[in-house]
C-alpha cells in the first residue's frame, strides 16, 4: 500500500526522454508548469495534453505507472472539483439548501481539475525519467549562477539528493515496522479516528528513531570520506548538452508559442 | 501446533521494473514441538517465507495451514493467527517504542485484550524467560539498554503473546558472543520448557547444527534440501555451490581427519568434536 506512492520515483529506461540532459528537463518542466497557467481555454489543454501524452509515449513509462501516481492526490483533486463547482454564480442547474451548482461552476471545476492533473503528471514525468542524482546535479548547475548572490546551490542540491535517496529507505523501514507491530497484534484498520491516530504511535516512534539513526550514520560516513562541502569538489560525470537537447529546446519553444497562441482561440 | 505450506508462490512488485519472484512453489510441513532451522544465501526468500506463516503477506498462489486451518482464506481472524504464531523480525529492537520496558512488552498482550493481573503476570513471565531481571529492568526506558538487552526485550514482547510457534529471523545477528550464547540458550529453554515450536533462520551454521532437529535449505525462492543436520551438512560440495558453509566443527574435524592417520570424525558441534578427539586419544594409548 505504501509502495503505491510513485511521487519522486525513478522509472529506469533508455528512451530519448531519459537521455536528455537533466537541465533541459528541469527547464522544460518549469516551462510546462508555467504554461498550464497561461492556458485559458479547453483547446489549450487539449494541445498540452496531446503533447504531454506524446512525451509519455516516447518515454515508454507505462501509463498504469503514471496514473498510479495520481491516487494519493485523488482527494485533493476531488476537493478542488467540489469547491470550484459550488463557488460560482451563473446559470443555475441544480439547487438544494445552501448548495447551488451552476453551469459556469461546472466548467470552472472541470477546468481546474484538468489543470491540476496535467500539472501533476507533467512534473512526475521529470522524476520518472531522470535519475535522482542527475536531477540534483542538473539543479545544482542551474542554480550555480545564483550562488554569487548567496543562494547555497550545492547545499540545496545535496539536501535534495539525500531526501530523494532516503524516500525508498524510509518506506522500506516503515513497511518493516508496520509488519513488526502487526505481528504483535496491532490493528491499524479498525476503530474510530482517535483510536486510529493512536495506533500510529507504535509506527511513528520507531520510524523517528530510525530516521535519526540513518541520518547520523550517513553524516559519519560522509565525514569519514572527507566531505567538506561544495567548494572545490570535482565530479565523476560531467553533464553536458547534446544534439537531442537542442531538438528538445526547439520543440519546447514551438510549444510555448502554440500555447500562447491558444489563448486567442475563442 | 503444526504449520503446513503448500505450493506457495510470491512475487514482489508484479509487473513493475523491480519484479522479483521471492518464493516459487514452496511446500513444507512443520510439526508440533520441532525446532527447525532455515538456511539459505542472502535473498533466497527466507524472510518472505516467514511472513507468510502468520499472514503478514498473502501468497500469489498456494496455501498456508496453521493447525489445519487455512489462513490464506479471507475469513480467517489474522490477529488470532498472529497470537498463535509469534514472529520476531530481524533486528527486532528497532520496533521498540514505549517509555518503559514493561509497557513495551505489554503491547502485544494488550492488543489481544489481556488486562489487569493477568497482563502483569504475562509480562513478568516473558521478561524473565528471556533472562532479564524483572525488578531491575521494568521501569527503564527500552532505549537506554544495551543492544543485546534491547533484543531480548523485543523478543519478550512477542513471547508475551504466548504463541505456540515462535519464528525468529536471525535472532543473533550483530550480537557479541555472550549475548549470542544467551539468546541461543533462551531459545532452547523456550522450546524445551514451554514446548513451543521454534523456526529459526540463521547464517551461523554452527548454531543451526547445534540447535535444530531439522534443517531446510533455500535457494532462489525454492527449497532445495531438507533433512536432519547431519544429512544436510555432509553435502559440502552442494552447500558450497549455494554460497553456504558447513559448521566450523565439522570443517576442522575434516581437516584433522585428512592429516592424522586413523582419525575419523563427522562431528557437527564442538561438543561432539571434543568427544571424538577424546575417544581417539584413548584408543592411541
Ligand atoms: N519489500 C520488498 N520489495 C521488493 N523486493 C523484495 C522485498 N523484500 C524482499 N525482496 C526481494 O525478495 C527476495 C527475497 O528476499 P528475502 O528478504 O525473503 O530474502 P532472505 O533470504 O531473507 O535474505 P537475507 O538473508 O538477506 O535476510 C530478494 O531478492 C529481495 O531482493
Ligand atoms: Mg531475511
Residue A220, C-alpha cell as written in the block: 559519519
Measured between alpha carbons, how far is A147 from A229 in angstroms, rounded to an integer?
Answer: 14
> Does residue B275 share a domain with residue B219?
no
Residue A199, C-alpha cell as written in the block: 495506533
* Atom in ligand 1 nearest the alpha carbon of residue B203: 25
What is the pLDDT confidence band of residue A12, given thresholds at 50, 70 and 90? confident
Residue B199 has pLDDT above 60, yes or no: yes
> Does residue A255 share a domain with residue A169?
no
pLDDT at A5: 52
pLDDT top residue among B150 and A1: B150
> Does residue A87 share a domain with residue A26?
yes
> Does residue A87 share a domain with residue A122?
yes
> Does residue B208 share a domain with residue B226?
yes
> Does residue A242 share a domain with residue A110?
yes
pLDDT at A234: 80
Residue of A nearest to B114 (CA): A185
Residue A264 has pLDDT above 60, yes or no: yes
The count of domains in chain B is: 2
Q: Write down the ipTM of this complex.
A: 0.88
> Does residue B205 share a domain with residue B278?
no
- Asked if the Cβ–Cβ distance from A180 to B92 is below 8 Å, we say yes
Measured between alpha carbons, how far is B154 from B126 in angstroms, rounded to an integer?
Answer: 10
- What share of chain B has pLDDT > 90, as a percent? 62
B268 CA distance to ligand 1 centroid (A)?
Answer: 29
B108 CA distance to ligand 2 centroid (A)?
Answer: 23
What is the pLDDT confidence band of residue A71, given thresholds at 50, 70 and 90? confident
Query: CB–CB of B253/B273 below 8 Å?
Result: yes
Rg of chain A over CA atoms, in angstroms?
23
Q: Tell me, yes or no, if A180 comes closer than 8 A to chain B by beta carbon.
A: yes
Q: Whose CA is nearest to atom 2 of ligand 1?
A: B12
> Does residue B132 share a domain with residue B172?
yes
> Does residue B241 share a domain with residue B278?
no
Measured between alpha carbons, how far is B187 from B168 in angstroms, rounded to an integer?
Answer: 9
pLDDT at B31: 92
Q: Show the 3-state SS of chain A.
A: CHHHCCCCCCCCCCCHHHHCCHHHHHHHHHHHHHHHHHCCCHHHHHHHHHHHHHHHHHHCCCHHHHHHCCHHHHHHHHHHHHHHHHCCCCCEEEEECCEEEEHHHHHHHHHHHHHHHHHHHHHHHHHHCCCHHHHHHHHHHHHHHHHHHCCCHHHHHHHHHHHHHHHHHHHHHHHHHHHHHHHCCCCCCCCCHHHHHHCCHHHHHHHHHHHHHHHHHHHHHHHHCCCCCCCCCCCCCCCCCCHHHHHHHHHHHHHHHHHHHHCCCC
Residue A7 has pLDDT above 70, yes or no: no
DSSP letter at B130 equals: T
> Does residue A147 share a domain with residue A116?
no
B170 CA distance to ligand 2 centroid (A)?
Answer: 8
Of A177, A184, A210, the CB nearest to B107: A184
Q: State the residue range of the domain holding A262.
A: 1-130+238-266
pLDDT at B281: 87
Q: Which ligand has its closest atom nearest to the C-alpha of B43?
A: 1
DSSP letter at B140 equals: S
pLDDT top residue among B194 and A50: A50
Query: CB–CB of B41/B219 below 8 Å?
Result: yes
- B53-96 pLDDT tens trace: 999 999 999 999 998 888 888 778 888 899 999 999 999 999 99
> Does residue A120 share a domain with residue A23?
yes
Question: Which residues of chain A from 12 to 31 reach within 8 Å of chain B, CB to CB?
Answer: 12
pLDDT at A1: 41
Query: CB–CB of A150/A38 below 8 Å?
Result: no
> Does residue A243 share a domain with residue A141?
no
The alpha carbon of residue B102 is apart from the nearest alpha carbon of chain A, in Å, by: 15
B12 CA distance to ligand 2 centroid (A)?
Answer: 14
Q: Which of B18, B20, B49 to mutate to test the pocket of ligand 1 (most atoms within 8 A of CB)?
A: B20
> Does residue A109 share a domain with residue A20?
yes
pLDDT at B228: 93
> Does residue B140 share a domain with residue B9?
yes
> Does residue A227 share a domain with residue A124?
no
- B87-121 pLDDT tens trace: 999 999 999 999 999 999 999 999 988 989 999 99
Measured between alpha carbons, how far is B225 from B222 in angstroms, rounded to an integer?
Answer: 9
**Burial label, A251 (beta-carbon count in 10 A; 0-12, 13-18, 19+):** middle
**Burial label, A7 (beta-carbon count in 10 A; 0-12, 13-18, 19+):** middle
> Does residue A251 share a domain with residue A123?
yes
- What residues does ligand 1 touch, defined as CB less than 6 Å away? B 12-13, 18, 20, 22, 40, 42-48
> Does residue A60 share a domain with residue A101?
yes
In B130-247, which residue ranges form alpha helices assigned H by DSSP? 134-137, 147-159, 177-193, 205-211, 229-233, 236-241
Taking residues B245-254, what's their average pLDDT?
88
Query: CB–CB of B244/B71 below 8 Å?
Result: no
Residues of B in contact with A205 (CB under 8 A): 97
> Does residue B141 share a domain with residue B61?
yes
Q: Which of B9, B39, B48 to mutate to test the pocket of ligand 1 (most atoms within 8 A of CB)?
A: B48
> Does residue A83 share a domain with residue A17?
yes
Of A11, A12, A206, the CB nearest to B95: A206
- What share of chain B has pLDDT > 70, as a percent? 100
Query: CB–CB of B249/B209 below 8 Å?
Result: yes
pLDDT at A8: 63
Residue A50, C-alpha cell as written in the block: 496531446
Give me the total of CB pairs closer than 8 Å, taking one residue from chain A and one from chain B: 59
- A188-223 pLDDT tens trace: 777 777 877 888 899 999 999 999 999 999 999 999
**Burial label, A233 (beta-carbon count in 10 A; 0-12, 13-18, 19+):** exposed
What is the number of residues in chain B?
285
Q: State the residue range of the domain holding B280.
A: 247-285
- Asked if the Cβ–Cβ distance from A206 to B87 is below 8 Å, we say no
Residue B256 has pLDDT above 60, yes or no: yes
pLDDT at A266: 65
Residue A156, C-alpha cell as written in the block: 540545496
Q: What is the pTM of this model?
A: 0.80
Taking each helix axis from N to C terminus, what angle separates B101-111 and B116-129, rounded to the nearest 10 degrees?
120
DSSP letter at B43 equals: T
Measured between alpha carbons, how far is B157 from B92 in angstroms, rounded to an integer?
Answer: 10
The count of domains in chain A is: 2
The alpha carbon of residue B263 is apart from the nearest alpha carbon of chain A, in Å, by: 49
Cβ neighbour number for residue A234 with a 10 Å cutoff:
5
Query: CB–CB of B156/B132 below 8 Å?
Result: yes
Torsion sign (Cα): A113, A116, A121, A124: negative
DSSP letter at B58 equals: -
Residue of A nearest to B166 (CA): A183
Helix (H, G, I), strand (E, B) or coil at B183: helix
Residues of B in contact with A182 (CB under 8 A): 56, 82
Q: Tell me, yes or no, if A71 comes closer than 8 A to chain B by beta carbon.
A: no
Taking residues B30-38, what's their average pLDDT?
94
Measured between alpha carbons, how far is B168 from B158 in angstroms, rounded to an integer?
Answer: 10
- Asked if the Cβ–Cβ distance from A209 to B143 is below 8 Å, we say yes
> Does residue B131 share a domain with residue B222?
yes
Sheet of strand B20-30: strand arrangement: B20-30, B3-12, B61-66, B69-70
> Does residue B56 share a domain with residue B89?
yes
- B217-249 pLDDT tens trace: 999 999 999 999 999 998 888 888 988 888 988
Taking residues A9-37, what's their average pLDDT?
91
> Does residue B270 share a domain with residue B198?
no
Amino acid at each position: 500500500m505504501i509502495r503505491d506512492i510513485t511521487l519522486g520515483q525513478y522509472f529506469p529506461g533508455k528512451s530519448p526522454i531519459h537521455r536528455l540532459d537533466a537541465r533541459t528537463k528541469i527547464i522544460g518542466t518549469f516551462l510546462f508548469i508555467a504554461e498550464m497557467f497561461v492556458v485559458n481555454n479547453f483547446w489549450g489543454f487539449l494541445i498540452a495534453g496531446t503533447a504531454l501524452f506524446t512525451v509519455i509515449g516516447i518515454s515508454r513509462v507505462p501509463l498504469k505507472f503514471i496514473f498510479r501516481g495520481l491516487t494519493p492526490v485523488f482527494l485533493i483533486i476531488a476537493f478542488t472539483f467540489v469547491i470550484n463547482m459550488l463557488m460560482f454564480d451563473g446559470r443555475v442547474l441544480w439547487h438544494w439548501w445552501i448548495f447551488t451548482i451552476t453551469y459556469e461552476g461546472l466548467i470552472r471545476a472541470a477546468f481546474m481539475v484538468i489543470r491540476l492533473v496535467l500539472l501533476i503528471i507533467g512534473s512526475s514525468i521529470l522524476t520518472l525519467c531522470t535519475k535522482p542524482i542527475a536531477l540534483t546535479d542538473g539543479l545544482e548547475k542551474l542554480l550555480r549562477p545564483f550562488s554569487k548572490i548567496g543562494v547555497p546551490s550545492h547545499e540545496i542540491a545535496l539536501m535534495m539528493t539525500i531526501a530523494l535517496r532516503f524516500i525508498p529507505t524510509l518506506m522500506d523501514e516503515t513497511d518493516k515496522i508496520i509488519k513488526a507491530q502487526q505481528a504483535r497484534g496491532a490493528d491499524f484498520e479498525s476503530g474510530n479516528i482517535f483510536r486510529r491516530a493512536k495506533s500510529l504511535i507504535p509506527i511513528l516512534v520507531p520510524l523517528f528513531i530510525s530516521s535519526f539513526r540513518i541520518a547520523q550514520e550517513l553524516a559519519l560516513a560522509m565525514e569519514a570520506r572527507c566531505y567538506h562541502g561544495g567548494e572545490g569538489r570535482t565530479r565523476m560525470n560531467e553533464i553536458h548538452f547534446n544534439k537531442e537537447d537542442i531538438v528538445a529546446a526547439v520543440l519546447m519553444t514551438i510549444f510555448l508559442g502554440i500555447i500562447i497562441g491558444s489563448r486567442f482561440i475563442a | 501446533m503444526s504449520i503446513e505450506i503448500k505450493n506457495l508462490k510470491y512475487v514482489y512488485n508484479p509487473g513493475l521494473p523491480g519484479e522479483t519472484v521471492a518464493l516459487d512453489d514452496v511446500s513444507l510441513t512443520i510439526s508440533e514441538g520441532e525446532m527447525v532451522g532455515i538456511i539459505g544465501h542472502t535473498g533466497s526468500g527466507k524472510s518472505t517465507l516467514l511472513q507468510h506463516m502468520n499472514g503478514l503477506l498473502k501468497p500469489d498462489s498456494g496455501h498456508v495451514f496453521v493447525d489445519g486451518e487455512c489462513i490464506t482464506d479471507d475469513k480467517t481472524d489474522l490477529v488470532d493467527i498472529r497470537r498463535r504464531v509469534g514472529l520476531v523480525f530481524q533486528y527486532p529492537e528497532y520496533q521498540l517504542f514505549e517509555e518503559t520496558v514493561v509497557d513495551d512488552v505489554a503491547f502485544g498482550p494488550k492488543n489481544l485484550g489481556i488486562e489487569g493481573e493477568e497482563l502483569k503476570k504475562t509480562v513478568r513471565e516473558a521478561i524473565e524467560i528471556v533472562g532479564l531481571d524483572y525488578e531491575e529492568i521494568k521501569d527503564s526506558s527500552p532505549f537506554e539498554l544495551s543492544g543485546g538487552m534491547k533484543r531480548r526485550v523485543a523478543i519478550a514482547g512477542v513471547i508475551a503473546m504466548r504463541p505456540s510457534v515462535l519464528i525468529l529471523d536471525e535472532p543473533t545477528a550483530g550480537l557479541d558472543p555472550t549475548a549470542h550464547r544467551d539468546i541461543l540458550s533462551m531459545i532452547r529453554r523456550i522450546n524445551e520448557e514451554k514446548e513451543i515450536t521454534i523456526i529459526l533462520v540463521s547464517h551461523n551454521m554452527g548454531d543451526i547444527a547445534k540447535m535444530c532437529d531439522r534443517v531446510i535449505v533455500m535457494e532462489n525462492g525454492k527449497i532445495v534440501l531438507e533433512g536432519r543436520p547431519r544429512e544436510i551438512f555432509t553435502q559440502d560440495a552442494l552447500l558450497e555451490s549455494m554460497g553456504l558453509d558447513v559448521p566450523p566443527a565439522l570443517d576442522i574435524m575434516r581437516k584433522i581427519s585428512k592429516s592424522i592417520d586413523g582419525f575419523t570424525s563427522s562431528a557437527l558441534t564442538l561438543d561432539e568434536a571434543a568427544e571424538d578427539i577424546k575417544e581417539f586419544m584413548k584408543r592411541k594409548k
